[in-house]
Amino acid sequence: MGEVKKHDTPKIDQLKTGPWPSFVDDIYSYGEKHKKQACFDIMGQMELSYTHKETHWKHGGIVGVFGYGGGVIGRYSDQQERFPAIWAFHTIRVHHTAGKWYHTSALRKLCDMWDHRGSGIVNFHGSTGDIILLGTVTDQLEPIFFDLTHQLHWDLGGSGSNLRSPACCVGKSRCEWALIDVQELDYELTMAFQDELHRPAFPYKFKFKFSGCPLDCVAAVARADMSFIGTWRDEIRIDQEAVRAYVRGELKPNAGAFSDRDWGPFDIKKEVIDLCPTKCMYWDENEQKLYINNSECNRCMHCIAVMPEALRPGQDTGIAILIGAKAPILEGAQLSTLIVPFMKVEPPYDELKDFIYKAWDYWMENGKNRERIGELIQRIGLNKFITEVMGLTPIPQHVRVPRDNPYIFWKEEEVEGGWTRDVAEFRKRHPA
């Protein structure tokens, strides 16, 4: 390792002056310590991009490892003579663990390998969840793959038009609100769908995300093509004395999460009752008692989060399945649509796997290129997807906005006599 060549980066250096820790400092200090020219070249190219207001990465072809169709994202510089250490700067996606629990020894071995074979720059974690190893050359891809799988016993994550690496919250390993074992579910589906994860065969990407409760800490409803949210179907458990303690100010709302300033006395009507999306709650001032119409509750858990010592989810637990969230690509951003309000989930999860395969089969057959499943539903209509594709019966929970569409479409077999009409008979009743 010789001396490294540094570049003049006045715009990039401004990022070091703010009140927050800067990735610029991190990359420069790492590059100095390990004499990594790629660290300085990447900063030099970024400075050029800031000056030109355009990227200097180009698509130079598809790269990958033998037997896998994903996990590696090819990246090449269009300034290779100026920044030779990053002529290629491929990204490796390493499949994260369920709940992102790691042993420090495993992380040290991973970082040692990346110091040796790549730029040393790591992102914990990407937006899908994978560990992102940023920057290596083509000749190192197969050695990296061998080291990961045979030495470290890690696997590549998903990329391209395939199942992306499933992700979940910390679940029952740390959170009292987890209603299902999301880590077990995450692991089981990851292992069951290895082919879909590593060998792209879909119209476009597909993401699973698992949240242990409706508070949805992994933002599955906003980001996943198929969301699995822990829920319950019996009644919310109420400790009426604890409710009264909140009202009297003896217990802090939100478990004290907003106690950094004085928000005034707790107002159960303003902070809980009036914010219930289905208006299923009532506080009787005279009786000092909270009433909940559980048949109208949509399990948003806002009331439980505000008064955690007074309210608890029910005990008959399972999952709700939502489909169709995505960021803006072809169409605008979408949130998920509820498809199954409640499903019991127990190993080996056969009912759930059958549901997933049914949705995939139709999407793979009818989806357009780069069309997410949410866009497919938008194109064919939710009614057709629920009834004809998934074979489900429409229920009120499927209605997002009442009376949003004034048109009712009938099938010919649903209309008495079908579409065929006798024109002469019609003219008798409606003369011209």
Residues sharing a CB contact under 8 Å with residue 81, sequence separation 6 or more, in sequence order: none
Superfamily of domain 160-231+319-431: Sulfite Reductase Hemoprotein, domain 1 (3.30.413.10)
Neighbouring C-beta atoms of residue 237, cutoff 10 Å: 13
Q: List the one residue out of 103, 158, 161 whose CA is nearest residue 129.
A: 158
Mean pLDDT of the chain: 93
pLDDT at 40: 97
| pLDDT (0 to 100) of residue 262 | 86
Tell me, what's the pLDDT at 265?
93
List CB contacts of 301: < 8 A, sequence separation 6 or more: 177, 213, 214, 215, 313
23-27 LR contacts (CB < 8 Å, sep 24+): 27/121
Task: Supply the pLDDT for residue 409.
Answer: 74
Comparing 26-30, 83-87, 117-121, 403-407, which segment has the lowest mean pLDDT? 403-407
Stretch(es) of the chain classified as CATH 3.30.413.10 = 160-231+319-431
pLDDT in tens, 248-294: 999 999 999 988 888 899 999 999 999 999 999 999 999 999 999 99
Architecture of the domain delimited by 237-312:
2-Layer Sandwich (3.30)
Average pLDDT (27-39) is: 95
Residue 1: is its pLDDT beyond 60?
no
Note the pLDDT of residue 406.
66
What's the confidence (pLDDT) of residue 216? 96
Buried-exposed string 80-108: b where 16+ CB fall within 10 A, e elsewhere: beebebbbbbbbbbbbbbbbeeeeeeeee
Instruction: Check: pTM over 0.85? Answer yes or no.
Output: yes
Identify the CATH assignment for 1-159 out of 2.60.40.10, 3.40.800.20, 3.30.70.2500, 3.40.50.850.
3.30.70.2500
Give pLDDT, residue 5. Answer: 93
Pairing relationship of beta strands 167-168 and 208-211 according to DSSP bridges: parallel
Q: How far is residue 111 from each of residues 42, 119, 120, 153, 335, measured CA to CA in Å?
A: 19, 10, 7, 14, 36
Q: Report the alpha-carbon distance of residue 160 to residue 46 in Å, rounded.
A: 25
* Residue 168 predicted with pLDDT over 80: yes
Stretch 87-104: mean pLDDT: 96
Angle at 163 between CA 184 and CA 56, to 5 degrees: 125
